[in-house]
Chain A
Amino acid sequence: MAAKVGIVLVSHSAPLAEGTAELAGQVGGEAVTIAAAGGTDDGRLGTSIGKVQRALILAETGAGVVILPDLGSSVLTVRTLLAEPEDLPGQVAVADAPFVEGAVAAAVTAAAGGDLKAVLDAAQEARHARKL
């Protein structure tokens, strides 16, 4: 079977990243690698470049990775990493999307075999999705 696009969830909170990864994995099925990178290296609220790097390596299975940052400095942390593209494990795209909805939509599209652009678009289309 062809490699699936991976997903990395970057949050200030480790439980938030892990819980969102669990939910998106349940909705999308088990075929997609969704790696959580939440909190600082010493377990506080914040972000860690090292955690995001490790999550990227986990999520890259040959088809690229879509990163979803939650708020503010998560975006800065991701941007810092992307500034050194030679250190990335493969193709990486950052989604400008709501965290939970974007993760769920990305997981479903990745599970169906969508390419990096399709998964990125699915996450970003979540900006327009209504829930009521």
Chain B
Amino acid sequence: MPESCEETVTLTGDLHARPAGALSVAAAKFAAAVRLAVQPAAEGASGAEGVREADAKSVLAVMQLGASSGQRVTVRAVGPDARDAVAAVIGVLADATKVGD
């Protein structure tokens, strides 16, 4: 069974091109598959239909998510270094979205 790990944060800034780049650079250093899931902005939006997902290692897919300040993002990794991968990506999300674009 490959290790899997998941953690959720609320963005404090928009996930613009530069933070998206930093996130994908961080994610791509790990063997684990890493995905981001962005919850819809509106509280109480129904079910999973508003959730958008992307491969964290693809910067273009991450940018296409258009995740913005206040949205909740779940980082999910599966693989031998899943725990470290999630920690690294959460770290980038916490840091990089503070500096704006």
Contacts of A46 in B (CB 8 A): none
Q: Say yes or no for A129: interface residue by CB 8 A criterion.
A: yes
A74–chain B nearest beta-carbon distance, Å: 21
Main secondary structure of the interface of B (DSSP, over half): helix
Total A-B residue pairs with C-beta atoms closer than 8 Å? 55
* Cα–Cα distance between A105 and B57 once the two chains are bound (Å): 10
Q: Residues of B with Cβ closer than 8 Å to A?
A: 17-18, 20-22, 24-29, 57-61, 63-64
Check if A126 sits within 8 Å of B17, measured CB to CB. Answer: no
A27: B residues at CB distance < 8 A: 17-18, 20-21, 59
The one of B20, B25, B60, B64 that contacts A112, using a Cβ cutoff of 8 Å: B25
Interface centre among B18, B59, B63 (most CB of A within 10 A): B59
Total number of A residues with any Cβ neighbor in B under 8 Å: 22
Q: What are 26 pairs between A and B in contact, CB < 8 Å?
A: A26-B17, A26-B18, A26-B21, A27-B18, A27-B59, A28-B25, A29-B25, A101-B60, A104-B17, A104-B21, A104-B59, A105-B58, A105-B59, A105-B60, A108-B28, A109-B57, A111-B21, A111-B25, A112-B24, A112-B27, A112-B28, A112-B57, A113-B28, A129-B58, A130-B64, A131-B60
Is the pair B22, A104 in contact by a Cβ cutoff of 8 Å? Answer: no
